[in-house]
Structure 1
Amino acid sequence: MSTCESPTSVAVRTCHSVEEQAALLDTWNQSYCQISRGVFAGSITTLAIGGFRVHIERLNRTVYQRGEVAANEIAVGIPFQLEGHALLCGQASHRNALHVFSGEGGFEFLSPDQHLVVNLEVSPENIANRAAREQLEMLRPRLSKRAGLIPVASTKLQEFRVALESMLGMLTKMPHLTKDMDIAETFERSAVFGLADVLATEPDLVTQSASRTSRHWQLVRAVRELVEASPDCPLTVAELCVRLRTSRRTLQYAFEEALGINPFSYTRVIRLGKVQRELQSANSVTEAATRWGFWHLGNFSAEYREHFGELPSETLRRYRR
């Protein structure tokens, strides 16, 4: 992971694994699992200005994210690029909706291969501008009760994107401006009232249809929790069905609809991700692989390289540098 930081509250970081990227959102208690195959390349640009922390996140692989924002925080994502199948808390994710990550119980987000989202994180009590603070308190019930999508009018959301792009582009190029109190208050007003303007609109009809809750998301969640609980996790679909008291057909359909992959492939992806994480501190590849049920090291290495774009031995060497 390479880092370029300035003393003026702007940091740009690039990452080579989902574990590195998740760790950068330190206040979100995030965990990531790479779903699609290939070399991962991601980045997060973080700006602190006024009462806001802004995270500009880029991902090039499908990632299953889980996290929970602090109870006093409001966190809203504005999608700039979402290409591919995506779900937020079981709802079909798309560009014409605000992505609310704050709320009781946390969130689960299946982000697509091409992902660029600007996340606004704020505590109303930290907003210096009184009018913006009062407006944000009025918006709090809609933005902090439960994570999920809020469909809005596409034209109004696009106007907000353009405004954000201009402000963030300037602040990234001239980070010293984030320390100017007048500029900080201007940003606060622009961001808060921009959100209020977007939330006052009616969603497009297409958006309403696209945001229907996935009927099978709860089953997918149950499988993930079961597999992640410990290395003594189900290694076959048959065992999953027994543990969850469901049929193979129901399980298969749920995964195909929600994630676009079958449950067997999903459990292997989770376990591969666990091995990748353990390689940060493991004594050997064999130790990490066998802990998560990979006993044929030749086949494991081939699967690992196909999924992450490098051999497990290369990952181990990279973390030992």
Structure 2
Amino acid sequence: MFAETRCFTDSQQHAGSIAGWNQVYAQMGRGPLTSELAQVCGTRFQVFRESLDKRVVQQGCAPPDRLCIAVVLPSGALPVVQGHAVAACAVALLRGGEEFVVHAPEGLHMLAANLDTERFARHAARELSAAQLKRLQTASQVAVEPAALARLRARVTALIDSPAPGAGPLSEHCFESSLLEAFLDLFQHADDEVRSRRANLAVSAYLVRRSQELVQQQPEQLLSILDLCGQLRVSRRTLQYSFQQVTGLRPVEYLRNLRLNAVRRALLASSAEQCTVSEVAGRMGFFHLSHFATHYRALFAEYPSTTRRRAG
């Protein structure tokens, strides 16, 4: 069993430190990022708590053969997951290998946990109804009774804050059994899938996702907002509203920040001998280097030339 608590100043280093997850975190909020990650991982389970003080978009795939849940802590801001705003009384769900997009607002405080799907299914077949089991196979989030949600938060928090493996009485089997009981209790008190607070939020999330895909297909060829509107067949007002509703940012700023994050990841993963800053920037469609450096510094609070590179 593995346990650690770490702090980060880079969103992708934070994302890459969550064991078993194939994902990318892109910083959207301006300024130096500070985040904390506490996690406990066993052979067939994982629990973690993460806090980020900047707006971040999270994309990737859930770990294979796992049932994953996430809940927002009471003091945390509410994210948009899979195109749906997560309600304060809800639990977000992901199944093994499922692709996800999370628009995490500034000040996110979230608890997450996952279990081996097969082992959970054996116990769930005995304790959950057919309707409850079906809900777990399709829902992106479920409403939960406040008392059950409070019990889940308390149980997962206790597991994360337990003494380090080997230093306390809980073995890996006890950890896993406690988490399994928490999952079963939670889903016994789950209700129908939570609907978006606004009926058109899913449409807005789709437009944001498609805009991002179009830009990423050919990053060196900058698409204007009018280009995106033409391909998506929507008005500028609709596109602006969709981005503001889902990401909290204007389309130009959001899409530029995604490209800036891609540059930063490339710089961190390479040495100055392998490629220059201007070469990396050009691959992401930044050809006016002074403007690029200004936007980079505004987002990450450092110039690209001072970003730590790998040794040559």
Distance 2:46 2:226 in 1: 45
User: Paired residue for 1:251, among 223, 239, 245?
Assistant: 239
Q: Is the 8 A contact 2:55 2:104 kept in 1?
A: yes
Distance 1:302 1:42, change over 3 A: same
User: Paired residue for 2:226, among 238, 259, 263?
Assistant: 238
Q: Which amino acid aligns with 1:111?
A: A
Distance 1:124 1:49 in 2: 14
Matches within 5 A, 1:40-189: 40-49=33-42, 51-80=44-73, 83-84=76-77, 86-102=79-95, 105-125=98-118, 141-143=134-136, 145-146=137-138, 148-170=140-162, 173-176=163-166, 183-189=171-177
> In percent, how many aligned pairs have the same letter?
29
Matches within 5 A, 1:9-48: 9-25=2-18, 27-48=20-41
Q: Is the 8 A contact 1:220 1:254 kept in 2?
A: yes
Q: Is the 8 A contact 2:19 2:41 kept in 1?
A: no
Distance 1:248 1:33, change over 3 A: same
Alignment correspondent of 2:301: 309
Distance 1:314 1:28 in 2: 29
Q: TM-score, normalised by structure 1?
A: 0.82
Displacement, 1:157? 0.6
Distance 1:68 1:319, change over 3 A: same
Q: TM-score, normalised by structure 2?
A: 0.84
User: Paired residue for 1:295, among 266, 278, 287?
Assistant: 287
Alignment correspondent of 1:229: 217
Q: Which amino acid aligns with 2:5?
A: V
Give secondary structure in 2 for the equivalent of 1:14.
Answer: strand
Q: Give the CA RMSD over aligned residues.
A: 3.2
Distance 1:133 1:208, change over 3 A: closer
Deviation string 1:51-74 (CA, Å, 9 cap, x unpaired) is 312232222211111122244211
Distance 1:312 1:265 in 2: 18
Distance 1:103 1:10, change over 3 A: closer
Deviation string 1:140-160 (CA, Å, 9 cap, x unpaired) is 6443x3462212122321122
Q: Is the 8 A contact 1:107 1:147 kept in 2?
A: no
Distance 1:120 1:202 in 2: 17
Give secondary structure in 2 for the equivalent of 1:30.
Answer: strand
Distance 1:50 1:76 in 2: 17
Deviation string 1:48-105 (CA, Å, 9 cap, x unpaired) is 2463122322222111111222442111113225644520011112432111122675
Report whether the alignment pairs 1:277 with 2:265. Answer: yes
State how many pairs are aligned: 305
Distance 2:164 2:261 in 1: 38
Q: Is the 8 A contact 2:142 2:190 kept in 1?
A: no
Distance 1:174 1:267, change over 3 A: closer
Q: Is the 8 A contact 2:72 2:88 kept in 1?
A: yes
Give secondary structure in 1 for the equivalent of 2:88.
Answer: coil
Deviation string 1:97-156 (CA, Å, 9 cap, x unpaired) is 1111226752111112112222212114457xx85896599876443x346221212232
Give secondary structure in 2 for the equivalent of 1:109.
Answer: strand
Q: Is the 8 A contact 1:32 1:64 kept in 2?
A: yes
Distance 1:28 1:186, change over 3 A: same
Give secondary structure in 2 for the equivalent of 1:162.
Answer: helix
Report whether the alignment pairs 1:263 with 2:251. Answer: yes
Q: Is the 8 A contact 1:50 1:185 kept in 2?
A: no
Distance 1:68 1:26 in 2: 13
Distance 1:51 1:85, change over 3 A: closer
Deviation string 1:259-313 (CA, Å, 9 cap, x unpaired) is 2222111121111111112212262221122222222222221211111111111
Gaps of 5+ in 2: none
